[in-house]
Amino acid sequence: MQEFFDYQNFTEVPPEITEKKSIRRLAKTTGLALCGLFAIMFFWSLAFVRIMVVLGFNPKAALWFLNEPVIMQTLQILISGIMLFVPFVLAVKFSNLKVRNLVMLKKPPNIKTTVLLTIMGLAFCQIVNIATNIGAGVFQMFGITFPDPQIELPKGVFGIIVMLFSTAFFPAFFEEFVMRGLLLGLLKQKGNAFAVICSALVFGFMHANAQQIVFAFFVGIILGFLTVKTESIWPAVAVHFLNNLISVIFSYLNITKINSDIISLVYVILFATILLFGVLCTIKISKQDSNFFTLHHQSEFTTQKKVCWFVTSPIIIISFVVSLLLAFFAR
């Protein structure tokens, strides 16, 4: 009898192997969803032209629709929703999980702290934006340039409204619902730090643009942190929206007759103001709780090890390589 129990203990699967397999399953789900997103991103324009031809439009007319700013931005709203929602919602469903159990849609418990965190998060986004632009400038000095796709801005009041919805409102909600809602909620079972880092990586590579990959990764870190600390996606939605709103406002200011030096001065003043309030909010939060900026780790396996298991999953590697290839061929 003793020999039997010894044999049972000998054949027991080590906890590390079990944990690694569990994380690899999460990575497989995530990677497949990301590849699905890229597939929709790559084929949607071809499908659009084909549909327009079937409806009686010639290819030239179909391409004109794609180049019309208002129509393009309107389509972006629809396509963004499809690209993000469909692959990740299907991935969650195939994992036998319920969307409502993953996405933290409730109101944050402490509104005062949430406001402080939102201001801090917006300041962090502006710092990352400046840092990535400086980094891109340094690379440019050595002849390495990154694609910066310039879209024609829709004109008129209606065009501005469409631009606000397509660039500020809808991306803020859609991307946060999927990245800090579905994905972070899915990964959170393996620890907050693990979920924040891995969801930020996916958020970065999702953009398939060399400069935006870096920017979105660091922004994803702060947005994920806000989400796990407030137990709600709404602060992340607010920061995402305000960050994109600032970008839209200055995009339109740059095509006005206002002197560029004045626009630059306004941006510097705005940046300095956001940064000042961001620092003050960070100090205020730190005084309230010196351990607030720590993501507690309750696992026998380190976050570094779990992240390593995640990013070395074959499907994650493939999806990240596809993202880099899309970024390279966009140059």
**Residue ranges of domains in the chain:** 15-329
Tens of pLDDT, residues 238-254: 999 999 999 999 988 88
Query: Given this model, what pLDDT does residue 80 score?
Result: 74
Weakest-pLDDT range from 18-27, 112-121, 164-173: 164-173
In degrees, rounded to 5, the angle at the alpha carbon of residue 273 between the alpha carbons of residues 271 and 275 is 65
Query: Given this model, what pLDDT does residue 133 score?
Result: 87
In degrees, rounded to 5, the angle at the alpha carbon of residue 166 between the alpha carbons of residues 164 and 172 is 85
Other beta carbons within 10 angstroms of residue 107's beta carbon come to 10
Residues above pLDDT 70, as percent of the chain: 85
Query: Given this model, what pLDDT does residue 163 score?
Result: 84
Q: Identify the H or E element spanning 260.
A: helix 260-288
CB 193 within 8 A of CB 182: no
Residue 69 has pLDDT above 70, yes or no: no
Residue appearing with tokens 């290839």: 325
State both tokens at 237: 């939605």
pLDDT tier for residue 291 given thresholds of 50, 70 and 90: confident
State both tokens at 96: 């036998």
Q: Using CA atoms of 316, 177, 69, 270 in order, give the dihedral in degrees to the nearest 10.
A: -100
Residue 20 has pLDDT above 70, yes or no: yes
Check residues 63 and 286 and name the one with the higher pLDDT: 286
Mean of the pLDDT values across residues 58-85?
70
Mean of the pLDDT values across residues 207-223?
92
CB 91 within 8 A of CB 32: yes
pLDDT tier for residue 68 given thresholds of 50, 70 and 90: low
